[in-house]
């Protein structure tokens, strides 16, 4: 059984069919990429999975559970973490606190216990911190640990976003354009991290990305969408040679 099963997913905003009849499934431990021209509905698919948008039609199943009608905040506890295309960090907090906020789903204390800072709270804080330190080490964020997000360069913020998602200890991570705006070296690092996430952490990765070299390097399978509709699915090579995909990106040839 697949980890994530999306069936006939559609969302319409008024007359705009942002996503229309997209189906795919992601196997456990797979790196699955969604590609497509701008406005194809890639990020909308992400927002549907993380329940920011209500689907007009279709079902989403994760780990055997129907998550189509769950609330947005119920998605994280079942093991889906995500990053955002346009960085959504907590700007007035330090990198460390941002990562600790990623541990929210693992808290076992309530506000009353927190208020008196019972020994249990301290024990849990230490545990959260230990996990966060692992993430910091993995993403090599040591130098930025106590820096405020507001003062960090763009590339580092992107990495902190990935870190915050990883701190959740998810089963599946949704990366929304992890390499956009990054230099060649930085996106190469992202490629290594995605490989490590899969190999060492056993994570399933669902990724939206424009950088085709990154997609080719890490993806097991690729889904191409255009104008909300699926075009082709298969290995990166298969999808790139698909005539429909070529047409969507480059336009069709005119024969005379």
Partner 1 sequence: MKVIFKTSYDNDIDLHEDWWDRGKMIALVAVMAVLPFFLGEYYMAEITNTLIWSLAGMGLMLLVGHTGQASLGHAAFLAIGAYTDAALMNVGVPWLVAFPLAGIAAGVFGAIVAIPAVRMSGIYLAIATLALFVIVEEAIIIAEPITGGVGGLFAPSITIAGIDFDRYASLNNFYWLCLAVVVLVTWLYANLMRSPTGRSFLAVRDSEVSARALGINITRTRSLAFGLSCAMTGLAGALMGHFITFFNYELFSVFISINLLLVVTIGGLGFIQGAFFGAILITAVPQLIAILRDGAMSTLGLDLSMPGLDTLVFSVILIGFIIYEPTGLYGRWLKIRFWLELFPLARRDMFRRQKTYLKTERMK
Rank residues 190 and 233 by Cβ distance to partner 1 and give the closer one. Answer: 190
Instruction: Verify binding: residue 92, partner 1, rule CB under 8 A.
Output: yes
121 belongs to the binding site for partner 1 (CB under 8 A): yes
Q: With respect to partner 1, which residue has the nearer C-beta, 99 or 226? A: 99
- Residue 158 binds partner 1, judged by CB under 8 A: no
Q: Which C-beta is closer to partner 1: that of 50 or that of 187? A: 50
Ramachandran assignment for 137, one of left (phi > 0), alpha (psi -120 to 50 degrees), beta (any other): alpha
**Using CA of residue 78, residue 168, residue 130, residue 111, what is the dihedral sign?**
negative
Does residue 104 touch partner 1 according to CB under 8 A? Answer: yes
Q: Is 178 in the site for partner 1 (CB under 8 A)?
A: no
| Choice from 1, 14, 15, 111 touching partner 1 (CB under 8 A) | 111
Smallest separation (angstroms) from partner 1 to the CB of 149: 9
Please report whether residue 116 would count as binding partner 1 according to CB under 8 A. Answer: yes
Contacts of 3 (CB under 8 A, 6+ apart): 26, 27, 28, 30, 62, 63, 171, 172, 204
Instruction: Work out whether 115 is an interface residue with partner 1 (CB under 8 A).
Output: yes
The interface with partner 1 within residues 13-52 (CB under 8 A) comprises 47, 50, 52
């Amino acid at each position: 059984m697949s980890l994530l099963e999306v069936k006939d997913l559609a969302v319409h905003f008024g007359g705009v069919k942002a996503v229309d009849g997209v189906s795919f499934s992601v196997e456990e431990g797979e790196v699955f990429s969604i590609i497509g021209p701008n406005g194809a509905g890639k990020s909308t698919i992400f927002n549907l999975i993380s329940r920011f948008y209500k689907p007009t039609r279709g079902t989403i199943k994760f780990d055997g559970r129907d998550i189509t009608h769950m609330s947005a905040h119920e998605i994280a506890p079942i093991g889906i973490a995500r990053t955002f295309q346009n960085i959504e960090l907590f700007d007035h907090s330090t990198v460390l606190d941002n990562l600790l906020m990623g541990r929210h789903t693992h808290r076992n204390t309530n506000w009353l216990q927190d208020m008196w800072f019972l020994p249990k709270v301290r024990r849990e804080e230490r545990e959260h911190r230990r996990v966060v330190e692992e993430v910091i080490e993995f993403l090599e964020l040591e130098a930025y640990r106590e820096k405020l997000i507001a003062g960090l360069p763009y590339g580092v913020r992107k990495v902190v976003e990935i870190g915050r998602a990883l701190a959740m200890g998810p089963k599946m991570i949704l990366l929304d354009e992890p390499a956009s705006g990054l230099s060649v070296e930085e996106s190469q690092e992202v490629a290594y991290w995605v490989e490590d996430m899969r190999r060492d952490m056993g994570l399933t990765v669902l990724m939206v990305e424009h950088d085709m070299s990154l997609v080719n390097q890490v993806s097991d399978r690729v889904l191409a969408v255009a104008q909300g509709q699926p075009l082709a699915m298969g290995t990166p090579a298969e999808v790139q040679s698909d005539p429909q995909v070529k047409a969507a990106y480059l336009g069709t040839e005119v024969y005379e």
